[in-house]
Chains A and B, each alone.
Chain A
């Protein structure tokens, strides 16, 4: 039961942290809660489907289907986060400045929430399908179903609690730093996903690793530690990254930051006559 709880917790944690950040970053957007719920429900339903089809997915592309699938999911999610940050650079500051406009911008805000609901759905899908597979396996290997369910539930609740704690922590950030802080978190999360996507493409032998590893800091912060996993999801920490991961990470960083600067909202300068 304990092992079930630990493994479910580790899988849930990643999705919970991603949801926590997105929920905090979209505070005040119209229809936020509804879209968050849609993302979780669609992701959960999808993960059951993916779990059932894991064998078929794995067999695609000469046995590298799973890598392509994961890289695709991470790539789309990173793209959506990039889009969100650039959108927020344009509209978020404007919305904060002219608080009354939020209501008028419902259509745009709702469209924006739908792209983030997709990111949530993809995160839940990826982690949820592994969790489902693991629990199916455990249940069919003679463990008592009650113990499996109990362990799974304990892991799920602990993971959700971690996501909520992160959410509460971000909401505690002072208002004047809030916008920059959440944009920064989303930016780094997109970089993390992009670098993980690159790693899956290396694993499928579609990209060269360049150098592998570029450095090794596992003595300092191990990837199997809780802090290591936390930072892996949040900012893309890798104890031993390959060169191509650094290339993806940095390119994503530069492209999103450039997009945010180019499209950022500039208040109309008041005529000085």
Chain B
């Protein structure tokens, strides 16, 4: 039956698309002008949803030249940053407002 075959194919495509859309979510906390954890490992070749929670009383700017990302995170706020899909490698990031202490990296494997 062509119709059911079509439906099956459509279902497969939908499944594949949903699988791709289901992003890996990674959480990160800023406390005392430091990232916790300072190193996170994520799967390569996948889009990552990075949720950064700034628990400090001061704003911070998440920035990474390697990831090409920048975002101001107000005090006490949670920010969502989409990164990737990444090639395997190490991607440092830092807090621009406290660059001496707030440092971390994403490792894509």
Beta-carbon contact of A240 and B82 below 8 Å: no
Cβ of A105 < 8 Å from any Cβ of B?
A: no
Q: Which of A58, A140, A199, A239 contacts B72 (CB 8 A)?
A: A58
Q: Are B71 and A133 in contact (CB under 8 A)?
A: no
Is the CB–CB distance between A224 and B72 below 8 Å? no
The answer to whether B97 touches A137, judged by C-beta atoms less than 8 angstroms apart, is: yes
Q: Provided the pairs A136-B59, A137-B58 are in contact, do residues A241 and B74 lie with their beta carbons within 8 angstroms? A: no
Whole-angstrom CA separation of A204 from B47 in the bound complex: 12
Closest partner residue, chain A, to B69 (CB atom): A203
Known: A58-B77, A203-B71, A212-B84. A138 touches B58 (CB 8 A): yes
Q: Contacts A205-B47, A213-B68 hold; do A133 and B59 have CB atoms under 8 A apart?
A: yes
| Interface: A103 (CB within 8 A) | no
How far is it, in angstroms, between the C-alpha of A203 and the C-alpha of B62 when the chains are bound? 12
Overall SS of chain A's interface: helix
Structural contact, B84 and A58, CB atoms closer than 8 A: no
Which residue on A lies nearest to B51, using beta carbons? A63
Contact at B58–A58, with CB atoms within 8 Å? Answer: no
Q: Which single member of B59, B86, B100 contacts A54 (CB below 8 Å)?
A: B59
Decide yes or no whether A157 CB sits under 8 A from chain B: no
Q: Decide: B73 and A223 in contact? CB cutoff 8 A.
A: no
Write out the residue numbers on chain B whose beta carbons fall within 8 Å of the beta carbon of A130.
Answer: 61, 72
Are A134 and B74 in contact, CB atoms less than 8 angstroms apart? no
- Cβ A58 vs Cβ B74 within 8 A: yes
A202→B74 contact, CB < 8 A: no
Chain B, 64-84, CB within 8 A of any chain A CB = 65-66, 68-69, 71-75, 77-84
Let me know if A154 is at the binding interface, CB within 8 A: no
Chain A interface: which size bin?
A: 35 or more
Minimum Cβ distance to chain B for residue A106 (Å) = 41
List A residues 204-239 near B (Cβ within 8 Å): 204-205, 209, 212-213, 218, 222-224, 238-239
Q: Is the interface of B mostly helix, strand, loop or mixed?
A: loop
Count B-side interface residues using an 8 Å CB cutoff: 30
A240 touches B57 (CB 8 A): no
Residues of B within 8 A of A64 (CB): 80
Q: Check A66/B71 contact, CB under 8 A, given A55-B77, A205-B82, A212-B86.
A: yes
Q: Is the CB of B65 within 8 A of A212?
A: no
* A62 at interface by CB-CB < 8 Å: yes
Question: How far does the Cβ of B44 sit from chain A's closest Cβ, in whole Å?
Answer: 12
Docked-complex contact A141 and B65, CB < 8 angstroms = no
Query: A67: CB under 8 A from chain B?
Result: yes
Whether A242 sits at the interface, judged by CB under 8 Å, is yes
Q: Is B36 an interface residue (CB 8 A)?
A: no
B92 to chain A, nearest CB (A): 10
Residues of A within 8 A of B (CB): 3, 7, 54-55, 58-59, 62-64, 66-67, 130, 133-134, 136-138, 140-141, 199, 202-205, 209, 212-213, 218, 222-224, 238-242
| Ranked 6 nearest A-B pairs via Cβ | A137-B58, A223-B65, A63-B80, A205-B82, A55-B74, A133-B59
Q: Could you pull out 17 A-B pairs where Cβ atoms are within 8 angstroms?
A: A54-B59, A55-B77, A62-B80, A67-B71, A133-B74, A134-B61, A137-B75, A137-B97, A140-B57, A141-B57, A199-B68, A203-B69, A205-B82, A212-B85, A213-B68, A224-B65, A239-B65
